[in-house]
Amino acid sequence: MFEIKTITLFMVTAVAEIAGCYLPYLWLKQDKSIWLLIPAAISLTLFAWLLSLHPTAAGRVYAAYGGVYIFVALLWLWLVDGIRPSAWDLVGASVALIGMAIIMFAPKSV
């Protein structure tokens, strides 16, 4: 149960971070409304708060979160940008997720 909760929290955190960065990108690069900066700021605030919900050391959380971020970013690439990830993208995401699992779920002495 801990593992599912952790991975779900990481995925929600990644969506908040990506949305918080994607909205200013739309404003800067695609001439969308400056008002997108408001939900972007809210999203990035949510991102920071979500990272604080993990019960383990912050450095470990940040390191492991990176693996899930890579996976979610590739999902974003596919679902939002309409670009299907390559086989190499999927291999890289798999390696990152394995790294995340080792960092978060391996037995720890401290």
pLDDT > 90? residue 44:
yes
Rounded mean pLDDT, 26-44: 97
Where do runs of H (alpha helix) occur along 1-110? 2-29, 37-51, 58-79, 87-105
Rounded mean pLDDT, 17-40: 97
| Phi and psi based region of residue 31 (left: phi greater than 0; alpha: psi -120 to 50; beta: remaining) | left
Task: Indicate the pTM of the whole model.
Answer: 0.84
Mean residue pLDDT of the chain comes to 91
pLDDT > 80? residue 26:
yes
pLDDT > 80? residue 15:
yes
